[in-house]
Amino acid sequence: MTVEDAGWRYLDFSVHELQEGEKLEIAHPGREVAVVPLGGEVQAEAGGKSFKLARTDVFSDPPYVLYVPPAEVLRVSAGARASFAVGGAPAEGRYPVRLIEPQEMRTEMRGGGPAVRQIGHVLAAPLPAERLILYEVISPLGGWCGWPPHCHDGFDGSPYLEETYYFRFDRLDAFALQRNYRTDEDFDELFVAEDGDLVLVTKGYHTTTASPGGNLYFLNYLAGELTNEERSRPPCFDARFTWITKDWDGARLSLPTPAVAPMRE
């Protein structure tokens, strides 16, 4: 997915799968990139240094993320079959090549009730980058993510950030639903995302829910007008649903409900 394909100004994203012995070279003039392993092991070279990026799978262990500034060419080789994501954004070259290790990444549990999920801040402030922001999210089967829905498209004072959702599941027959919508115009999208699918958030509030058939992982790359330390600025939430943050179980129905009285003849 290129900037031109999406009609975007900032973000690009791709997923690569290499077989044993295969190599890939990525030149990215004027853009910083971040590499996230999804499974397997690769050797990545940049800035005269070599780094091992290894991961069992996205549910078993956290990632090592490689940050590469614009001036350096990225070279990746696989000793065995491996897959990894690469995303980029405009940059001036303020930060050097850096391997970000799991212990540097903040992990939090967010939400509650049916909307509890695990958030990995794999390249988010204060971890250094010029524009890129990366999160990994894991949600139990049947759970909701991004609730209450939020936006970052410039609407209602929110920052402008472009965002991709890359989906993986622990069962190949599982899927998720993602809704992107606006409350001030006729814009409402609903996507069915299966394993390996990519959804673009072009604008609007957005939220995601997993089917009961499998646990959900998604990888978010974001980039836009926020730079450096400003990347910590929060999005804007749909005010109709923010009440839930004070009572995550709300008026949750308890089953079975009282029996319905029989109809009289």
pLDDT at 251: 75
Q: Where are the domains of the chain?
A: 3-243
pLDDT tens for residues 147-158? 999 999 999 899
Residue 203 CA, chain-centre distance (Å), reads 15
pLDDT at 260: 62
pLDDT at 6: 80
pLDDT at 263: 60
pLDDT at 1: 65
pLDDT at 140: 96
DSSP codes of every residue in 151-197: E-BSGGG--BEEEEEEEEESSTT-EEEEEEE-SSSS-EEEEEEETT-
Residue 186, both tokens: 């006729």
What 8-state DSSP symbol labels residue 88? E
pLDDT at 65: 98
pLDDT at 254: 83
| Arch. (CATH architecture) of 3-243 | Sandwich (2.60)
pLDDT at 66: 98
pLDDT at 256: 84
The parts of the chain modelled with pLDDT lower than 50 are: none
